[in-house]
Amino acid sequence: MKIKIERDKAKDQIVERQYFFLTESDKLKILERIFPVLEDTEYVRDLIADGELPNLDEKIIQLIESKEYL
């Protein structure tokens, strides 16, 4: 049985499954590569609200604010 799915939806599903297995540290590393200046957590929150970033745990946002990951 073949199941047809749009290419964009298939890509989204693959990314969501891979995202599930990332550690919090891996998520931060990805964000650092995309957005080298993460101190502005309000900017990060806006990107999440606009759907440009995946929804991050409040713990991750606090970690960004505190810069402990540095």
In a domain, 17, yes or no: no
In a domain, 55, yes or no: yes
Query: Is 56 among the domain residues?
Result: yes
Mean pLDDT of all residues belonging to the chain:
77
- pLDDT-derived band at 63 (thresholds 50, 70, 90) equals confident
What does the pLDDT read at residue 38?
62
Boundaries of domain holding 51 = 23-70
**How many CB atoms within 10 Å of residue 31?**
19
Domain total in the chain = 1
DSSP codes, 7-65: HHHHHHHHHHHHHHT--HHHHHHHHHHH-S----HHHHHHHHHTTSSPPPPHHHHHHHH
Provide mean pLDDT across the span 39-53: 78
The arithmetic mean of pLDDT across residues 39-62, rounded, is: 78
4 within domain boundaries: no
